[in-house]
Amino acid sequence: MANRVTRNSYKILTRQLSTAFPKCDFKPKTYSGPSFQKTDKIKADHIAPAIFNIYKRPLVLHQGHMQWLFDHDGRRYLDLFGGIVTVSVGHCHPKVSAALHEQIDSLWHVTNIYRHPKIYEYVEKLIAKFPGDLKVVYLVNSGTEANDLALLLAKAYTNSNDVISLQSCYHGYSSTVMGLTATQSYRMPIPVPSGMHHAMLPDPYRGIWGGCRDSISQVKNSCACVGDCVTSDKYVHQLSELLENSVPAGRVAAFFAESIQGVNGAVQFPKGYIKKAAELIKKHGGLFVADEVQTGFGRTGDAFWGFQNHGVQPDIVTLAKGIGNGFPLGAVVTTKAIAEAHTKSSYFNTFGGNPMAAAVGKAVLEVIEEEGLQQNCKDTGRYFLEQLMDLQNSYPVIGDVRGKGLMIGLELVEPGTKQPLNSGDASEILESIKDLGILIGTGGRWRNVLRIKPPMCINKKDVDFAIAVLDQVFNNYKKNK
């Protein structure tokens, strides 16, 4: 019991909140798995040490229902992280679960060298969501795999090797795409493929020129440009300098960018940057690859794909996470011309597009449409941001509130400065939020950003509860400093 909050202390903590825990009629099953102590031992003895506990008092999560998670003691938590932005339509959504059950009882696996109906039904529905010439789909198993394949396609099509991504980005963790990823904590001290370059991050909060972004929340005292931000040209000039100094003339293969940086803590770019950067890359012979692993499927609210918010047409789009609501599924979407370059060699994917994954993916798209989840992201996300901006006015520890739709970040700082909040205090804040019934993510270069990317089915009552929890946690922090 010393390793976790007891049932009674949990109830006392939640009773202290100004807003009641939202009602939920779902009753989880009684937990029958290994004890907390046994999971501790198994983890210590057999789980890779690189997989670390994010909490001092870890949880054993037992069951999920829509926006809720339940631990082995039956305690309920509002999930504001969605399994790292992966649970899109809700934990164990009944329609998605039913589609999987139906498929699993008829056909599990045949690989994509054979035809089966679900892959064709799914691909047809998925491709209808894309504009322009983005008409060819590869189905894979994860975001890392999707970006690895996109990298190969770009190099095959352009016959070039050099690739550019942005500082502090995350595009995956294989030995290849680790070179694309420009976040030090995810870089092993091993050689990565040649030709990987990282352009200056155009960050309105920490960047040298600041800027304004596509959000109702702006950096305090930032510019308020109509249309493109004036700083976008300055950051694009830095990209141009990189191209003209470090890349062989006319030999760039691709520019990879997330529509909003996810692992880096929902960092948005100055308005106009992505479009101008993509145009510059094309002038140098390269392709633009939009990483929609976290921002896709309506999460940003105004558009189904994050790149549409930037007014740009990518050459390749990579998808994963919310595409399968937690089921292993990813995709690469591109043009017929680019896909044709891949025929220089044979290709197959053992599990990509298997019948179960295709059935789940199709059901996820249907739920997003039927339940209006993109609109919910827009409306509930705006409401969430407005409440967080009010909190920011009361608590100097919140240095920046940013985001769009239900892709939100709170950057925590030493009060009165832009210095990242020290890791000890940030960890205590995260722990306190969990103890009051909310699971939330962290990210950013210094792990000082609270990442709010919940299942897209949350509602305003859930937001009110979340704000009450954050208000209490930040108020306690303020009193104790």
pLDDT at residue number 35: 94
Contacts of 323 (CB under 8 A, 6+ apart): 88, 296, 297, 329, 330, 331, 361, 364
- Give me the pLDDT at residue 467, please: 98
Confidence (pLDDT) at 4: 46
Nearest to 139 by CA among 111, 173, 101, 158: 111
Report the top-level CATH class of 7-79+373-480: alpha beta
Lookup: tokens for 94: 């009944």
Average pLDDT over residues 322-339: 98
Summary mean pLDDT of the chain: 95
109 has a pLDDT exceeding 70 = yes
Q: Cα–Cα distance between 265 and 175 in angstroms, integer?
A: 23
- Over 80: is that where the pLDDT of 389 sits? yes
* 290 token code pair: 């939009």
For 72, the token pair is 């082995």
Distance CA 30, CA 435 (A): 21
pLDDT at residue number 481: 79
| End-to-end Cα separation, the chain, in angstroms | 29
pLDDT on residue 33: 94
Site of tokens 């694309």: 180
CA 151 – CA 182 distance, rounded (Å): 15
Q: Provide mean pLDDT across the span 303-332.
A: 98
Domain edges within the chain: 7-79+373-480, 96-370
* pLDDT (tens digit per residue) in 1-36: 334 455 555 555 555 687 889 999 999 999 999 999
Please check whether residue 459 is in contact with residue 373, taking contact to mean a CB–CB distance below 8 angstroms: no
Q: Is 61 left (phi over 0), alpha (psi -120 to 50) or beta?
A: beta
CA dihedral 454, 456, 458, 460 (to 10 degrees): 100
179 vs 155: CA distance, rounded Å: 15
φ, ψ (nearest 5 deg) of residue 385: -60, -40
Distance CA 199, CA 240 (A): 9
Q: How far is CA 394 from the centre of its chain?
A: 28
**How many whole angstroms separate alpha carbon 321 and alpha carbon 144?**
10
Do residues 300 and 290 touch, judged by C-beta distance below 8 A? no
As a whole number of angstroms, the distance between CA 5 and CA 220 comes to 38
Three-state secondary structure string covering the chain: CCCCCCHHHHHHHHHCCCCCCCCCCCCCCCCCCCCHHHHHHHHHHHCCCCCCCCCCCCCCEEEEEECEEEECCCCEEEECCHHHHCCCCCECCHHHHHHHHHHHCCCCCCCCCCCCHHHHHHHHHHHCCCCCCCCEEEEECCHHHHHHHHHHHHHHHHCCCEEEEECCCCCCCCCCHHHCCCCHHHCCCCCCCCCEEEECCCCCCCCCCCCCECCCCCCCCCCCCCCCCCCHHHHHHHHHHHHHHHCCCCCEEEEEEECCECCCCCECCECCHHHHHHHHHHHCCCEEEEECCCCCCCCCCCCCCHHHHHCCCCCEEEECHHHHCCCCCEEEEECHHHHHHHHHCCCCCCCCCCHHHHHHHHHHHHHHHHCCHHHHHHHHHHHHHHHHHHHHHHCCCEEEEEEECCEEEEEEECCCCCCECCHHHHHHHHHHHHHCCEECEEECCCCCEEEECCCCCCCHHHHHHHHHHHHHHHHHHHHHC
96-370: which CATH architecture? 3-Layer(aba) Sandwich (3.40)
pLDDT for 49-73, tens place per residue? 999 898 999 999 999 999 999 999 9
Radius of gyration of the chain (CA): 22
* Chain length of the chain: 481
Cβ count within 10 A of residue 190? 7
CA distances from 41 to 63, 71, 202 (A): 22, 18, 44
Counting residues of the chain whose pLDDT is more than 90, the rounded percentage is 93
Q: What percent of the chain has pLDDT over 70?
A: 97
Please give the Cα distance from 371 to 91 (Å, whole number): 15
Q: What is the pLDDT of residues 441-480, one digit of tens each?
A: 999 999 999 999 999 999 999 999 999 999 999 999 999 8
Model confidence at 120: pLDDT above 60: yes
